[in-house]
């Protein structure tokens, strides 16, 4: 009896990150797809995909490694280079050059025959430059200011026109998931902050600034959106905002977050998590020992997400950042999740995996 091989081949670039993990989860268990997960570091989670290690900043290595992989029908590009000074890096010339160079190296080595998904975010609406027009809509003009999104998008459009394949640009906001060591993972930043606060006998205090309205995007929901839009026929080459579908005010969800750790909510206590949390690494190390957690250091779990949390909590002043998802819904993708449920589910997953204490 002959074996029927999958007729679809997917390359997930940046597979170890928040978006990459969400995309892989959307394809796991589907025998119709052959999936290759591309990342610089080895994967630290189970997946059906075949992992290949590549440093996309190394042009020669990229060509050598991808030359052995063959052709792909679909590519998801979720690779990202961030500087050590995370927020300042969003406007930095080198950060832009490296991110554009990584994508160019990939596309010079391999292009999809059918479809590519490119990931962006609220920087497309100038949220990193100042107050944005709310809600952000896909047809808004590109805001002036430094941003690696635009040269990446222009490169994809040029290659798609020449190669005859389609592309979709997806714009989520505050992607939350289980990726360890991500520079922008609020779930792990909040989870470790809560665990340490509880270990020190403190209530869960909100460490940010004045209230504002924003949104979040579950990494697995985003993965399903990537799959759904990649499967659509037609001209393609569209841009869609993708969020959980509700609005998020941090103080409004703080009680449910505290409940996930069986904690009381305390008075607000504005502080820089990037400055204060590394000082508490010994407390985390003791939690790892006491609860027999996976032997990850605090830095290995959270990384620069402390800096991201300071910005997302509006420590130095927040702004309303809302994305309209009307276009995605009108075009047929209507999945949603309550953001409080998202956090509960992700905290439970991290506890079950012995990443966070129960």
Nearest to 346 by CA among 217, 196, 246: 217
* Secondary structure of residue 8 in the 3-state scheme: strand
* Exposed / middle / buried, residue 246 (Cβ in 10 Å: 0-12, 13-18, 19+): middle
DSSP state of 84: S
Model-level pTM?
Answer: 0.95
Beta 72-77 vs 112-119: how paired, if at all? Answer: parallel
What pLDDT, in 10s, does the model give residues 227-266? 999 998 776 799 999 999 999 999 999 999 999 999 999 9
| pLDDT one-digit tens code per residue, 50-90 | 999 999 999 999 999 998 899 999 999 999 999 888 888 88
- On the question of pLDDT at 6 being above 50, the answer is yes
Structural domains in the chain, CATH included, are: 8-172+219-242 (3.40.50.720), 176-216+247-352 (3.40.50.720)
Q: What is the mean pLDDT of residues 119-139?
A: 95
Compute the distance between CA of residue 182 and CA of residue 98 in angstroms, rounded to an integer.
Answer: 18
Q: Over 80: is that where the pLDDT of 3 sits?
A: no
Return the pLDDT at 1.
44
pLDDT digits (tens, 9 = 90+) for 141-160: 999 999 999 999 999 999 99
- What mean pLDDT do residues 267-293 have? 97
Average pLDDT, the chain: 95
């Amino acid at each position: 009896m002959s074996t029927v091989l999958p007729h679809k081949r997917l390359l997930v670039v940046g597979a170890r990150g928040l978006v990459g993990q969400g995309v892989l989860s959307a394809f796991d268990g589907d025998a119709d797809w052959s999936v290759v997960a591309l990342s610089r570091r080895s994967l630290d989670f189970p997946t059906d995909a075949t992992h290949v290690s590549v440093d996309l900043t190394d042009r020669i290595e990229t060509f050598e490694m991808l030359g052995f992989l063959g052709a792909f029908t679909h590519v998801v590009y979720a690779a990202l280079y961030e500087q050590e000074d995370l927020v300042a890096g969003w406007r930095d010339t080198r950060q832009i050059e490296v991110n554009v160079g990584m994508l160019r190296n990939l596309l010079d080595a391999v292009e999809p025959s059918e479809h590519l998904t490119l990931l962006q975010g609220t920087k497309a609406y100038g949220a990193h430059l100042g107050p944005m027009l709310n809600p952000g809509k896909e047809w808004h003009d590109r805001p002036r200011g430094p941003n690696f999104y635009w040269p990446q998008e222009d490169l994809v459009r040029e290659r798609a026109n020449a190669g005859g394949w389609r592309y979709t640009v997806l714009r989520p906001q505050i992607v939350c998931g289980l990726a360890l060591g991500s520079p922008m993972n609020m779930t792990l930043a909040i989870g470790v902050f809560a665990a340490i606060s509880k270990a020190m006998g403190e209530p869960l205090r909100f460490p940010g600034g004045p209230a504002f309205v924003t949104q979040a995007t579950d990494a697995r929901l985003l993965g399903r959106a990537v799959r759904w839009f990649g499967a659509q026929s037609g001209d393609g080459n569209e841009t869609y905002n993708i969020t959980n579908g509700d609005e998020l005010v941090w103080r409004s969800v703080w009680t449910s977050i505290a409940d996930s750790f069986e904690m009381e909510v305390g008075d607000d206590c504005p502080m820089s998590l990037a400055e204060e949390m590394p000082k508490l690494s010994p407390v985390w190390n003791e939690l790892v020992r006491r609860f027999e957690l996976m032997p990850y250091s605090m830095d290995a779990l959270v990384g620069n997400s402390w800096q991201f949390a300071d910005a997302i909590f509006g420590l130095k002043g927040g702004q309303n950042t809302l994305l309209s998802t009307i276009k995605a819904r009108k075009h047929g993708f209507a999945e949603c999740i309550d953001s409080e449920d998202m956090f509960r589910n992700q905290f439970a997953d991290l506890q079950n995996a012995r990443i966070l204490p129960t």
